[in-house]
Amino acid sequence: AWTLLDSRNSQTNWADAEGRLFRFGNLTAFTNYRFTISENNGATDYTGVGELEYFYEPSDMLGIEGTPGAYGAVTPPYGLTNGLEVGDAFLCSAPTGTLDVAPGTRARCAGYALYTNETVLAAGGATSAFWYTHERFARLVWQWDMLYEAAFTAGTGGTVTTNGGWYGEDETVTVTAQPAAGRFFSHWTGNVPAAQRYQATLAFIPAEPVTAAAVFGQTFHVRTDGSDSADGLSWASAKKTLEAAVAAAGEAGIILVTNGVYDITSSWVEVTSPLAISSVNGPASTTLRARFATANRRRVMRVAHDGARVSGFTMREGNYLLLAVGNAGGLWLDAGTVSNCIVTANTAYGGGGARLTGGLLTHSVLSGNSATPAGADRRGGGVYIFGGTVQQCRIAGNLATYGGGAGLQGANAVLRECLITGNYSGVTRGGGVYVAAAGLVDRCTILTNSGSAGGGVYLDGGGTLRNSLVAQNQATYFADGGGGVYMSGGGAQLIGTTITRNRNTYGADRHGLFMSGGTAAGVVVKENGHGRFSTNQINITKTGGTFTHGCASPLPAGAGNTAADPMFADPAAGDFRLLPGSPCRDADLSGTGTADDLDGSPRPVDGGGDASAVPDMGCFEAADAATGPLA
């Protein structure tokens, strides 16, 4: 008889796992049984953490399966063969050769495996037939190798080195696209590996049928005295407008635009294929202008393909005053990369300069744009980010109702490594940046912005501000203030940031951080209120949320906080790094795990020289005491 494996079931507070095995009286009535594995949770009861299954199969059966699928007509057929006696012998076989099992997919028998239960291998071979002698229940699994068809074609302007064929799961498919004279390889269409889509040579092991075509492009030219009826294939036969060059390029091409001002004559220049569009001499010499818009609705450009690249333009005077959130005046970016551009003097109800739902806007300037007139939806004077990333940009001198410089609204909205300065949000929120519910502001420098509340940044119910410097901003209207940062709502996060030399001109306090909700960790809020209220150092006003492992005065409640002097290196010169001996060095024990500081230096390092690497409070991580400078 089967017995209980551990008879201590009546005891409590013992640490080892409890296992029990029971005997079933009628095994033929069931094919499997389930046992619960439990462990002590420190009390008088036990919490189940897993289950163990026991399978019972009658001894007169042979189960037949196939992996990765049950292909072909095998003998005996797939399923259960019942009524076998000990000593019964017969031939088991699978089809030879290859079988068409799905479009573009074939299977070839590679052998078999015979198990005496679910996992114990009793026999096997690389043949498609063998004699089986029955002793007890067994499981026969036919092994199949898969072959996949790969088909390659070439578009106009080139060839491919192979048209494809059938390839096994362990074979490497290799094909190269070869452009003709005057052409270049652009990309592959079809289900090729994503990382190789823009590589002329593909090399991969197939896991499914593959159909791909090589696309080849030409180089088109645009000049102010060109002609849209010309072919655009040389400077002598250049196109006159960028719209005509984009249309001629089709699904692939390089477009070069020489110096001059180019007026947009359509609703916008729309880039929906992997084109590479660039000016010859940069944005100072080449302007795309969307002036003279009909019914106040004309943007400069929309980029909507992940392979598109646009660089080297000034985009200006887009005007899209249609009542909707984030319409974009100058640039609408859904996918692709826009770099080295100046986006200026554009207007829209939201996203005055640019709107992003995806893609990357980098190494560009967004200045002098506006999201107007006043209203709750007028967000992001410089840029409104619903998704995608704005990185290493200068966002300056823009105007909006919410987020004079930038507005963020979306879990995938990212503003990173940017300078946000001199922006204005009128009588509402977020002079520099406004974050609505979700979004990430990371490693940004936010200076000299102005708004009614949250002069630098307004976190409205959610979003994250981390590893950033917020300085010399001002709140100008609401008594709630938040000259540097205003944060509300349980989802808002403020991490590893320095908030200093901000002020609230509407009242005598709430200069640095106003906090009614959310979480702050590793934050320095000091020396705010300089200027009009220089003697009133009310750096932080906290009516809700949690503030831990930070430096602020008056001292807020929370673990690891200090009100001591952070010992900035040279605050008068704008250097807010931490001097040796600062109480903020190696002091952020919050465990928020920020990877890099504002300078891009890794966190944490041992800045205190005590052989313990702990992040510093604020946006700057001090150098390792063993290897860094002496002061």
The verdict on residue 283 lying in a domain is yes
Residue 136: which domain range? 60-216
Residues 541 and 501 in one domain: yes
| Cα gap 557→174, rounded to integer Å | 64
CB of 107 within 8 A of CB of 146?
Answer: yes
| Residue 483 CB contacts under 8 Å (≥ 6 apart), including other chains | 455, 456, 473, 474, 475, 502, 503, 504, 505, 510, 511, 512, 528, 529
Q: Kindly report the average pLDDT of the chain as a whole number.
A: 88
How do beta strands 32-40 and 46-55 pair? antiparallel
The verdict on residue 607 lying in a domain is yes
Q: Is pLDDT at 62 greater than 60 in this prediction?
A: yes
| Cα gap 433→454, rounded to integer Å | 8
pLDDT average, residue stretch 221-241: 98
| Cα gap 537→110, rounded to integer Å | 79
Of 121-130, 320-329, 357-366, 545-554, the poorest mean pLDDT is in 320-329
The verdict on residue 485 lying in a domain is yes
pLDDT digits (tens, 9 = 90+) for 193-230: 999 999 999 999 999 999 999 999 999 999 999 999 99
| Cα gap 112→135, rounded to integer Å | 18
pLDDT of residue 134: 96
| Cα gap 117→456, rounded to integer Å | 68
pLDDT of residue 5: 37
CB of 449 within 8 A of CB of 476?
Answer: no
Residue type, 376: A
Residues 39 and 112 in one domain: no
pLDDT of residue 297: 76
| Cα gap 563→467, rounded to integer Å | 20
The verdict on residue 447 lying in a domain is no
Residue type, 343: V
Residues 65 and 47 in one domain: no
| Cα gap 398→88, rounded to integer Å | 87
pLDDT digits (tens, 9 = 90+) for 449-486: 999 889 999 999 889 999 999 999 999 876 667 899 99
Residue by residue, DSSP assigns 95-112 as: --SEEEEETTEEEEEEEE
**Secondary structure of 379-397 in HEC code, one letter for each residue:** ECCCEEECCEEEECCEEEC
| Cα gap 230→236, rounded to integer Å | 9
pLDDT band, residue 16 (cuts 50/70/90): very low
Residue 113 to residues 87, 125, 249, 388: CA-CA distances in angstroms? 20, 7, 56, 50
| Cα gap 449→483, rounded to integer Å | 9
pLDDT of residue 294: 55
Nearest to 430, CA basis, from 470, 400, 468: 400
Residues 270 and 405 in one domain: yes
| Residue carrying structure tokens 């002036």 | 291
Q: What is the pTM of this model?
A: 0.83
Q: Which is it for the CA torsion 504, 508, 511, 515, positive or negative?
A: negative
User: Helix, strand or coil for residue 506?
Assistant: coil
The verdict on residue 538 lying in a domain is yes
Q: Where among 158, 185, 216 does a domain terminate?
A: 216
Neighbouring-strand partners of residue 526: 500
The verdict on residue 110 lying in a domain is yes
CATH number at residue 387: 2.160.20.10
Residues 52 and 68 in one domain: no
Residue by residue, DSSP assigns 168-228 as: ETT--EEEEEEEPTT-EEEEEEES--GGGTT-SEEEE--SS-EEEEEEEEEEEEE-TT--T
The verdict on residue 442 lying in a domain is no
Residue 42 to residues 8, 15, 45, 51: CA-CA distances in angstroms? 16, 8, 8, 20
> How is residue 436 written in tokens?
């609505």
> How is residue 573 written in tokens?
């010169």
Residue type, 111: G
pLDDT average, residue stretch 24-48: 43
DSSP 74: -
| Cα gap 61→84, rounded to integer Å | 6
Residues 281 and 392 in one domain: yes
Percent of the chain residues topping a pLDDT of 90: 74
Percent of the chain residues topping a pLDDT of 70: 85
Residues 200 and 335 in one domain: no
Residues 245 and 337 in one domain: yes
Number of structural domains (the chain) is 4
> How is residue 184 written in tokens?
């270049």
Residues 393 and 458 in one domain: no
Nearest to 17, CA basis, from 43, 44, 47: 47
Q: Where among 196, 216, 236 does a domain terminate?
A: 216
DSSP 461: S
pLDDT of residue 35: 43
> How is residue 69 written in tokens?
């699928």
Nearest to 495, CA basis, from 415, 576, 590: 590
| Cα gap 612→485, rounded to integer Å | 31
Residues 581 and 604 in one domain: yes
Residues 183 and 232 in one domain: no
pLDDT band, residue 611 (cuts 50/70/90): confident
Residues 239 and 164 in one domain: no
pLDDT digits (tens, 9 = 90+) for 155-190: 999 999 999 999 999 999 999 999 999 999 999 999
N- to C-terminal Cα separation, the chain: 78
